[in-house]
Structure 1
Amino acid sequence: MYFIHTADIHLGKTYRNSPSEIERYEDFFRCLAGIVKNALKDQVNFVLIGGDLFHTGQILPKTFAKTIETLQPLKEAGIPCIAIEGNHDWIHRRDNISWMEALSEMGYIRLLRPSRTEDGGYFFDPFDDVTGMGGHIEIGGINIYGLGYIGAQAGNHVERICNAVTTKNNLLLFHVGIWKYSPVEIGNMKLEEAHPLAEKFSYVALGHGHKPYVIETPEGRAYAYNPGAPERVNFGEEKYDKGYYFVTIDDGRFSPEFRPTNPRPMLVEVINLEGAENADDALNLFRDQVKEKLARLADERAPLLELKLAGRIGFHPFELGRDRLRLALEEFASLLHIEIKNHLSMVAKTEGEEVVKKSLTEIEKDVLQDLVGAHTKYKDREEELTRLSLAIRDLVLKGDVDDEELLGLIPEED
């Protein structure tokens, strides 16, 4: 038997109110369409999606329609697409049917979601094709269990998950990350908390973190796999391999092969403007360095570019505004999307001595870290919570997040 394990597709992701909005929106559908095409070519028995099929739980109707169009070839070929909900898919207001539930009712995916018992345990009901609901499905003798995003207490649920499973030849689809390999995510668990899963499941199909990694037992047996996101979703992912797992099952043994995808080129670069005495000199340094860095790209597609301006300068950083820098870039570069972060520090001279004034970014971070640290409950977590707060601020200012996604960042209680 053969199957594909992918996760974190993030359909619907784009840059709102940007000239590149449509092209970036299409990137994620092209990526999923390529995986579907390969599933048909390789005649797999099923496809697994380990959560975050969508970028947000409240998608546009056109995104839903395009998702159906993209998944249609799997449905026509009779290849089950088995999915779970990630933190991005989840709708926190449960008074309406979710888009994931609608896809499952229509037969484009089999959405796995377990029931809970009165004492807090799990019950994996058999999947019902009529209702499109259930927590367990059997294909060719492989028992597939699904558990979506359950928040910051995921590690405490492992024992209950294992206790609910009584079958053999088991596979678990689970939207959770491991701190050791994915430290920037929320809703992860510790490595040692995951190990009991290896006793019940021959293959644990993870999602959540966008970087691929493999988890082994203390004895060195691999049992859990995270393929990462097949397209580059956020800046910082330019250094990760991008792809999915093609898995062969032979005599009960799972043999995964990581297959690369073709994500849009992404660059995150530091532009050093150290020593520039005026804005014109800094602009020339800026042009020269960006040209050099873009020349290294072999991909002809317009890249995603994040630039971090660094160095001590002899003029106020506001003179080098983002609009002026973007106009300079348009003279020689074709970019899909550009983000510029100003970390410049101004050097002022006072009676012959140089005084370095902190950048706005440094001041913001210091003030917020002091405010967080003033509360005894958050001692020793100042840096983590400051980073999270600033990340939320940046997402809101960019308009790249909605209320459902922000709620998904809040850790849930057990």
Structure 2
Amino acid sequence: MAKVSFIHASDIHLGHRQFNLEQRFQDFGLAFKQVVDTALARKVDFVLIGGDFFHKRAIDAETLRQAMELLTPLKEAGIPVVAIEGNHDKAFYQEKSSWLNLLNALGYIKLLKPVYRDGKVALAGWDREEGGCILEEQGIRIIGLGYLGATTAQRLEEIAGELAFWAGDKGEKPFTVLLLHAAVDRMLGQDLGGVKKEILDSYRGQVDYIALGHIHARQEIDDWVYNPGSLENCHIDEAKEGREKGFYYVTVNGLEKKVEYIPASPRRVCILPIDITGSANPAEVREKIWQELRKAEVEKLDEPIVQIVLKGEIEFSSLAIDVAALTKEIREGTQSLYVEVQNHANLPAENMEGKDRSMMTRAEIERQVLKQLVGRQHPAYRHFADELVGLVIKVKEASLNGEPARELIAEIEKLACELPEEDLSADMVAAAGGIPAVEGGEGVEDSENQAAEH
């Protein structure tokens, strides 16, 4: 097989009018244009999209037009775009087609989707009209499963044995890519409802490159599992230090690969935690804010997004700080595109786990709230808090995505058998839909998924 190259990108989120700003709609389009331009310049053989091409299941005409205009140069250059659905652009459970199906029918992309036989996923060859989840491009086999939600682990186990029966054109195993919209627990640092790495390990020797989407920051495991991150910041907190965004340029020669990470160029986000301890009045708070803004040289940035988090102890009421007036003044004074001021003054600086609350993601805060509920309402289950919370997250995810409840019944029953004697209240599961509103951004699964925000 001659040397083959491809780009692996994910979580494009076209159509996202963040903060209800038209410029942010354009920003997400410009971010994907960088991928398109790179693909054309390097003359890649194909492009992989790991899900969430669109920000919402129900897109408007302007978003569809933008998508078609961005994909047209690749189509004209004969560069196939192989895509899967993510949780944001997947069709609702009761519907058959998503907007990606339309792009597939029009020839802009090749949409890979699972085929089910007798209730199980089957590896069916891709056809533009009939669908399917497996195809070959330039001798490289691509298996696309998309977003499987709470059933991901089960579905991966179902098809693991089938791969051995799929040989290449010459009867030998080709370089194989698994395209999946899912998180991996090891990437998350804890069990947050993702796929356990042990399940992926069963694919070693059969899959050479696992191409993920879903988590909005660059993450890699063992030079084998790759998650590029989103191209733009779908939430402000995604811009925190160390959270890279970009896409991969991959070259393959036989079964050997070389992976290059190409950083994206999202709009600059400036996050400023400001300690206002000791401020005597709102005027002193204002002065401290401007000192930090000048120190960060925010005015030199090109229309950035600015988030200011006020924290610390003050002697006067924190309600005396006019957040709306500060927001307007800072936006105009720094020529920022968007400014958000969070007033956490006189609030506990740390949560029960010793982590600065202002630097926590929405998913981390939600997880903490649920663990607190377990401890307070079901003390006997305290040692099972992580398992219970992980299950609640899966239930929430399945509910928001319209998945059938039967997929989770076995897992719920298994955990229930392991719990000590105490009635497992429905309150625990109901809590997934009743988490207090918090400030923050995207985690494993956004609690505002129905508003198409993850």
TM-score, structure 2 length as denominator?
Answer: 0.75
Q: Distance in 2 between matches of 1:137 and 1:276?
A: 64
The percentage of counterpart residues that share the same residue type is 31
Structure 2 counterparts to residues 282-361 of structure 1, below 5 A: 282-295=285-298, 300-345=301-346
Q: Distance in 1 between matches of 2:277 and 2:438?
A: 30
SS in 1 for 2:252: strand
Verify the 8 A CA contact 1:158 1:196 in the aligned structure 2.
no
Q: Return closer, same or farther for 1:87/1:309 CA change in 2, 3 Å cut-off.
A: same
Give CA-to-partner distance per residue, 1:288-330, whole Å, 9 cap, x none: 12222244x87x4211122211010111111113212113313
Greater share of helix residues, 1 or 2? 2
The amino acid that maps onto 1:125 is A
Deviation at 1:199, TM superposition (A): 2.5
Structure 1 residue aligned with 2:247? 244
Structure 2 residue aligned with 1:232? 233
Structure 2 counterparts to residues 384-395 of structure 1, below 5 A: 389-390=435-436
Structure 2 residue aligned with 1:97? 97
Deviation at 1:50, TM superposition (A): 0.4
Structure 2 residue aligned with 1:59? 59
The amino acid that maps onto 2:148 is I
* 2:269 alignment partner, one of 259, 266, 269: 266
SS in 2 for 1:27: helix
Give CA-to-partner distance per residue, 1:223-282, whole Å, 9 cap, x none: 221111122222222222221110101122121111122111112220111111211111
Q: Distance in 1 between matches of 2:231 and 2:49?
A: 11
Verify the 8 A CA contact 2:237 2:440 in the aligned structure 1.
no
Tell whether 2:12 aligns with 1:14: no
SS in 1 for 2:67: helix
Q: Return closer, same or farther for 1:115/1:264 CA change in 2, 3 Å cut-off.
A: same
Tell whether 2:406 aligns with 1:403: no
Q: Distance in 2 between matches of 1:34 and 1:62?
A: 20
Structure 2 counterparts to residues 98-247 of structure 1, below 5 A: 98-118=98-118, 120-129=119-128, 131=129, 133-165=131-163, 166-167=165-166, 168-169=173-174, 170-182=176-188, 187-216=193-222, 222-238=223-239, 239=241, 240-247=243-250
Structure 2 residue aligned with 1:76? 76
Greater share of strand residues, 1 or 2? 1
Verify the 8 A CA contact 1:395 1:401 in the aligned structure 2.
no
5+ residue gaps, structure 1: 217-221, 348-358, 410-414
SS in 1 for 2:27: helix
SS in 2 for 1:188: coil
Structure 2 residue aligned with 1:278? 281
Q: Distance in 2 between matches of 1:49 and 1:151?
A: 18
Deviation at 1:143, TM superposition (A): 1.2
Q: After the TM superposition, which of the residue ranges 32-41 and 327-336 deviates more from structure 2?
A: 327-336
Verify the 8 A CA contact 2:121 2:155 in the aligned structure 1.
no
RMSD over aligned CA atoms reads: 3.2
Give CA-to-partner distance per residue, 1:65-103, whole Å, 9 cap, x none: 110111011111111100001111123243353111111
The amino acid that maps onto 1:69 is E
Give CA-to-partner distance per residue, 1:12-35, whole Å, 9 cap, x none: 112344xxx111111110011111
Q: Distance in 1 between matches of 2:438 and 2:192?
A: 12
Give CA-to-partner distance per residue, 1:363-403, whole Å, 9 cap, x none: x999987555444397425998799935678789xxx9562
Q: Distance in 1 between matches of 2:320 and 2:228?
A: 44
Verify the 8 A CA contact 1:111 1:132 in the aligned structure 2.
no
Q: Distance in 2 between matches of 1:79 and 1:243?
A: 20
Q: Distance in 2 between matches of 1:367 and 1:73?
A: 47
Deviation at 1:331, TM superposition (A): 4.9
Tell whether 2:43 aligns with 1:43: yes
Q: Return closer, same or farther for 1:249/1:12 CA change in 2, 3 Å cut-off.
A: same
Q: Return closer, same or farther for 1:183/1:8 CA change in 2, 3 Å cut-off.
A: farther
Structure 1 residue aligned with 2:396? none
Q: Distance in 2 between matches of 1:184 and 1:145?
A: 27
Verify the 8 A CA contact 2:157 2:199 in the aligned structure 1.
no
Verify the 8 A CA contact 1:145 1:172 in the aligned structure 2.
yes
Q: Distance in 1 between matches of 2:436 and 2:277?
A: 26
5+ residue gaps, structure 2: 167-172, 349-356, 358-364, 394-430
Verify the 8 A CA contact 1:230 1:261 in the aligned structure 2.
yes
Aligned residues: 379
Q: Distance in 1 between matches of 2:82 and 2:127?
A: 13
